[in-house]
Amino acid sequence: MTIDICASVHLSGALPPCPNERCTLLSAMRVLIRDLAKILREKPEEPVELEGWVHRIRELGGLSFIILRDRSGMVQAVATEKLDLTLESVISISGIPVRTEKAPGGIEIQVRTLTCISRAAQDMPYRVNAAFGRMGLETVLDNRILSLRNPALQAVFKVQATIIEAFSAYLRSQDFTEIRTSKLVANGTEGGTALFAVEYFNKKLYLAQSPQFYKQVMVASGMERVFEVAQVYRAEKHDTPRHLNEYVSLDVEMAFIESELELIALEKALLIHIFSELARKNSPELALHQAAVPDAAAVERSPTLSYEEALRIAIKESGNARLFDINPEVERLLCVWSMREYQSPLVFINAFPRRHRPFYTYPLGDTLTMSFDTLFRGLEITSGSRRQHDYQAFVEALPRFGLKAQDMPGYLTLLQYGCPPHGGFALGCERLTQKILGLTSVKEASLFPRDRKRISP
Amino acid sequence: MTIDICASVHLSGALPPCPNERCTLLSAMRVLIRDLAKILREKPEEPVELEGWVHRIRELGGLSFIILRDRSGMVQAVATEKLDLTLESVISISGIPVRTEKAPGGIEIQVRTLTCISRAAQDMPYRVNAAFGRMGLETVLDNRILSLRNPALQAVFKVQATIIEAFSAYLRSQDFTEIRTSKLVANGTEGGTALFAVEYFNKKLYLAQSPQFYKQVMVASGMERVFEVAQVYRAEKHDTPRHLNEYVSLDVEMAFIESELELIALEKALLIHIFSELARKNSPELALHQAAVPDAAAVERSPTLSYEEALRIAIKESGNARLFDINPEVERLLCVWSMREYQSPLVFINAFPRRHRPFYTYPLGDTLTMSFDTLFRGLEITSGSRRQHDYQAFVEALPRFGLKAQDMPGYLTLLQYGCPPHGGFALGCERLTQKILGLTSVKEASLFPRDRKRISP
């Protein structure tokens, strides 16, 4: 009734032999490509077992050269015969690793036995081993199931995993609690934005465009500092390189702040941690995209401009006096300016006019707000603000936004029974990934992107 | 243009004074209740500033006793006058901490000044400071915005945050990559289960009931080991203490396994890590529920039974010969049996009949499958299996499930071009939380639960 296997070995990809003598699993012998150099040092001339995908095959002078790919990297294997293999087949190789300058990476496997575990059909509709950038975006996304095997395309999501991990870890270190809130809501947070309707039994609900209200509830509950990493939905018809109808929002909310400046300080600290974790863990993935992350000093140097100042600078930069809003063109101009003047790829813009921000934003005087946006490498990646926590002021401001108090019982309860000053922001995970790697479209930074036309895979 | 505040101080809740001399923020002076003992040791008789919620007030002999609550705990404060305060108001207190045996926790704040930051209305519809269990489930959920302020109710979600953190951290340590996959899909994974329809522009999509297919795509992409923590949706009409229509699924998938036994070993290792992290980080929260987590030995001792054996034991335990399936009653019986025979709260059941498992499950002989369920304290918390990775065998088996190959182009592409042996499982986050804390209903373990009737807040 007990299980005759050894979790530690099989799960960690440790070196053979399996220390558990009752272990009967074949994969106990498997090693990862990234461990070959170490194995060669410690146990030269001993055979190893590798498992992975056939990335390339080349026949030359009676020899077959295979590039084998596993989750940890690639290595060349040489067999002394012609092999009946197809690209992308899953194989198991037993062989002797040897050092050689001829092989990429300096190690080659001399194949003793080769087993095909899962043979790939010949008619592959996508060339997995094509250089990144050779395939157009539509081809990449139409063939997503296969194109994600390309190391550079897969690297995007290893980078994204680190972004999410570093975001969460930094916030936990600052006493934030992770929350998971419902994505099925009775109405939108912001009002106005198009929502996707869900047939919920005999009712109509909507997919949440933001966890805004729930974050505020949790702050006011006494949790004070919360974050959520989750999908949000916008039924906007845009089909642009900067829009997705479903995206991952990195959401933060915290109590007892005075203004949006503390939120900007928090985001700077967060970005510094994310960038340094990427530099530490993902240099191979960054290299596949010839990408580099900003250092801490570049983040710290980033300017904070008021909305008015930002427009003034954009007008001066462009020579175009007819810029009345922070549109995509202005975002690009400001980042070029910041790079030149501050050697920083980031710009924070605050003091947005009240008419540009949602009803829950905390005012600054009569016409401005304690709000901010973050631009990174030419693109808005964050929007945040201090929120109105005062019940009276909240109710009095609603008519300005065409809203009625009786339509928002949740907000009234939230604010009526002791709500601390608070604020937060949302960072677009795909946009941040896109800009870190220099991808052309945000869709490349979503595993299975949804837009108006794309609904599969 | 630079920001005159000090992120480190404000974000970490460090002790005053703020080392940044340009810092102008009031909250720079704030300390957390959990740090009071340390402050008293290091700087006795110095005033501190606390911010938080009024949990209780009592007037006695011209004195006012306030229990103040912040995110880190509770402390008693004493003012030498009658105060015009309401329960749950947010206040700021400046005062001197002193040791006293009369106060809960041994420390009391002698109030010098008290400011009301946000006054709670008198007509609070929910008693936040009521003892846990005093309020019925419907009252708790109807008043969710306020009931989440109760320390025991909030503790549920601190425990849940640790579960998610520990789950993710353990898997990362074993080389798993976190993924985020679309929740808007063209059809269901399992077939048969009821799905929620979404009006997606001019098309109809469905809310994903599982990331099953996407996990398999990522494994076959060469990522090999992936996990996802995300909402999934089931449009089932059940209204029971074990069902939610929207829940958080802790999903795992890995390549190069031989059978479900490796998955069971992985889940045991995962649960051991989760339980030990809860014991390390959340003893106050566990104590509020008089809950204890199983130790590693209890997890390791847990039996693995075949489906047939499990039914045989349940029949013997109950004396009821008419048990033909692992229903909720059987789940309870088996856990009672396991506790008695193995002193373990867990039971793993494998070798389920093929007719009970989805089409993608790997067969074991003609009638059984390499699949398993996990029972914990009387409730199924996990379902998993090795998956069919062989294209021919997959296509040939589809008619058994009333399915046609041409209806599943995604699966065909997945399996046709080199797919390694693989498998995985999904652990219900709310069910695990529920059973760890001994909650009556799984709905108590969802921040904003959705069921057939409950759609807000």
Measured CA to CA, the distance from residue B102 to residue B97 in angstroms comes to 13
- Using alpha carbons only, give the angle A442, A443, A449 rounded to the nearest 5 degrees: 140
- With a cut of 50, which residues of chain A have pLDDT below it? 1-27
User: Which pLDDT score, from 0 to 100, does residue A29 have?
Assistant: 80
Partners of residue B346 on adjacent β-strands: B376
- Chain A's closest residue to B51, CA to CA, is A256
In the stretch 325-384 of chain A, residues with CB closer than 8 A to chain B read none
Q: What is the pLDDT of residues B124-172, one digit of tens each?
A: 999 999 998 899 999 999 999 999 999 999 999 999 999 999 999 999 9
Measured CA to CA, the distance from residue A397 to residue B350 in angstroms comes to 60
Q: Enter the tokens of residue B252.
A: 């795992």
Residue B69 scores a pLDDT above 70: yes
Check A457 against B168: CB less than 8 A apart: no
Sign of the alpha-carbon dihedral angle for A283, A285, A287, A292: negative
User: Which pLDDT score, from 0 to 100, does residue A193 have?
Assistant: 72
Q: Within a 10 A sphere around the Cβ of A301, how many other Cβ atoms?
A: 17
User: Which pLDDT score, from 0 to 100, does residue A16 have?
Assistant: 39
User: Which pLDDT score, from 0 to 100, does residue B191 have?
Assistant: 60
SS3 A394: helix
Measured CA to CA, the distance from residue B235 to residue B246 in angstroms comes to 9
Q: What is the pLDDT of residues A90-143, one digit of tens each?
A: 999 999 999 999 999 999 999 999 999 999 999 999 999 999 889 999 999 999
Distances in Å between the Cα of B201 and the Cα atoms of A197, B67, B186, B276, B310 are: 10, 52, 13, 47, 48
Q: Which of B186, B223, B455 sits opposite A200 (nearest CB)?
A: B455
Distances in Å between the Cα of B427 and the Cα atoms of A165, B130, B337, B349, B374 are: 20, 32, 22, 15, 9
Pairing assessment for the beta strands B48-60 and A422-428 based on DSSP bridges: unpaired
User: Which pLDDT score, from 0 to 100, does residue A188 have?
Assistant: 64
Q: What is the pLDDT of residues B304-322, one digit of tens each?
A: 999 999 999 999 999 999 9
ipTM of this complex: 0.94
Dihedral angle of Cα A428, A431, A437, A439, to the nearest 10 degrees? 160
Which residues in chain B have their CB less than 8 angstroms from residue A118's CB? 389-390, 418-421
Nearest in space to A157 (alpha carbons), one of B99, B178, B13, B55: B178
Residue B40 scores a pLDDT above 60: yes
User: Which pLDDT score, from 0 to 100, does residue A192 have?
Assistant: 60
What is the distance in angstroms between the CA of the first residue and the CA of the last residue of chain A?
41
| Residue A83 touches partner B, C-beta closer than 8 Å | no
pLDDT-based confidence at B71, cuts 50/70/90? very high
Question: A320 CA to chain B: closest CA distance, Å?
Answer: 24
User: Which pLDDT score, from 0 to 100, does residue B190 have?
Assistant: 61
Contacts of A115 (CB under 8 A, 6+ apart): A91, A92, A93
Which element (helix H / strand E) includes A127?
none
Q: Read off the pLDDT of each residue in B266-274 and give the average, rounded to a whole number.
A: 98
SS3 A134: coil
Q: Enter the tokens of residue B357.
A: 């498992």
pLDDT-based confidence at B25, cuts 50/70/90? very low
User: Which pLDDT score, from 0 to 100, does residue A289 have?
Assistant: 98
Measured CA to CA, the distance from residue B55 to residue B71 in angstroms comes to 12
Check B180 against A186: CB less than 8 A apart: no
| Residue A113 touches partner B, C-beta closer than 8 Å | no
Which residues in chain B have their CB less than 8 angstroms from residue A52's CB? 222
Sheet holding B197-200, edge to edge: A184-185, A203-207, A197-200, B197-200, B203-207, B184-185
Domains of chain B by start residue, with CATH? 1-30 (no CATH), 40-118 (2.40.50.140), 141-445 (3.30.930.10)
Nearest in space to B177 (alpha carbons), one of B219, B211, B208: B219
Pairing assessment for the beta strands A107-118 and A73-79 based on DSSP bridges: parallel
Check A164 against B178: CB less than 8 A apart: yes
Nearest in space to A245 (alpha carbons), one of B200, B246, B276, B438: B200
DSSP string covering A261-275: HHHHHHHHHHHHHHH
Residue B298 scores a pLDDT above 80: yes
Which element (helix H / strand E) includes A14?
none
Q: Provide the mean pLDDT of chain B.
A: 92
User: Which pLDDT score, from 0 to 100, does residue B7 have?
Assistant: 37
- Using alpha carbons only, give the angle B386, B390, B391 rounded to the nearest 5 degrees: 130
Measured CA to CA, the distance from residue A452 to residue A454 in angstroms comes to 6
Residue B11 scores a pLDDT above 80: no
Residue B22 scores a pLDDT above 60: no
User: Which pLDDT score, from 0 to 100, does residue A238 have?
Assistant: 85
User: Which pLDDT score, from 0 to 100, does residue B444 have?
Assistant: 98
Question: A205 CA to chain B: closest CA distance, Å?
Answer: 8
Check B203 against A455: CB less than 8 A apart: yes
Measured CA to CA, the distance from residue B239 to residue B237 in angstroms comes to 6
Check B3 against A304: CB less than 8 A apart: yes
User: Which pLDDT score, from 0 to 100, does residue A125 have?
Assistant: 95
User: Which pLDDT score, from 0 to 100, does residue A3 have?
Assistant: 28
Measured CA to CA, the distance from residue A246 to residue A447 in angstroms comes to 11
SS3 A76: strand
Dihedral angle of Cα B126, B129, B132, B137, to the nearest 10 degrees? 10
| Residue A157 touches partner B, C-beta closer than 8 Å | yes
Dihedral angle of Cα B300, B435, B262, A31, to the nearest 10 degrees? -90
| Residue B305 touches partner A, C-beta closer than 8 Å | yes
Residue B15 scores a pLDDT above 90: no
Measured CA to CA, the distance from residue A122 to residue A119 in angstroms comes to 9
Q: What amino acid occupies position B297?
A: A
| Residue B194 touches partner A, C-beta closer than 8 Å | no
| Residue B47 touches partner A, C-beta closer than 8 Å | no
Q: What is the pLDDT of residues B385-394, one digit of tens each?
A: 999 999 999 9
As a whole-number percent, the residues of chain B with pLDDT over 70 amount to 93
Global pTM value: 0.95
Q: What is the pLDDT of residues B182-224, one digit of tens each?
A: 999 997 656 667 999 999 999 999 999 999 999 999 999 999 9
3-state secondary structure chain B: CCCCCCHHHHHHCCCCCCCCCCCCCHHHHECCHHHHHHHHHHCCCCCEEEEEEEEEEEEECCEEEEEEEECCEEEEEEECCCCCCCCCCEEEEEEEEEECCCCHHHEEEEEEEEEEEECCCCCCCCCCCCCCCCCCHHHHHHCHHHHCCCHHHHHHHHHHHHHHHHHHHHHHHCCCEECCCCCEECCCCCCCCCCCEEEECCEEEEECCCCHHHHHHHHHHHHCEEEEEEEEECCCCCCCCCCCCEEEEEEEEEECCCCHHHHHHHHHHHHHHHHHHHHHHCHHHHHHCCCCCCCHHHHHHCCEEEHHHHHHHHHHHHCCCCCCCCCHHHHHHHHHHHHHHHCCCEEEEECCEHHHCCCCECEECCCEECEEEEEECCEEEEEEEEECCCHHHHHHHHHHHCCCHHHCHHHHHHHHCCCCCEEEEEEEHHHHHHHHHCCCCHHHHCCCCCCCCCCCC
